[in-house]
Amino acid sequence: MSISVDGRTYTKMNLGCGNKFFPDYLNVSYWEQLSSGTIYKDPNGETGALLLNHDLSKGIPAADNSLDIVYHSHFL
What pLDDT does 75 receive?
76
What pLDDT does 1 receive?
58
Domain count, the chain: 1
**Residue-range definition of the domain harbouring residue 27:** 3-72
How do residues 16-47 score in pLDDT, each as one tens digit? 999 899 988 999 999 999 999 999 987 778 78
Largest interatomic CA distance in the chain: 31
Distance CA 10, CA 68 (A): 9
Which band of pLDDT confidence, cut at 50, 70 and 90, is reported for residue 3? Answer: confident
CB neighbourhood size of 41 (10 A): 11
Which band of pLDDT confidence, cut at 50, 70 and 90, is reported for residue 5? Answer: confident
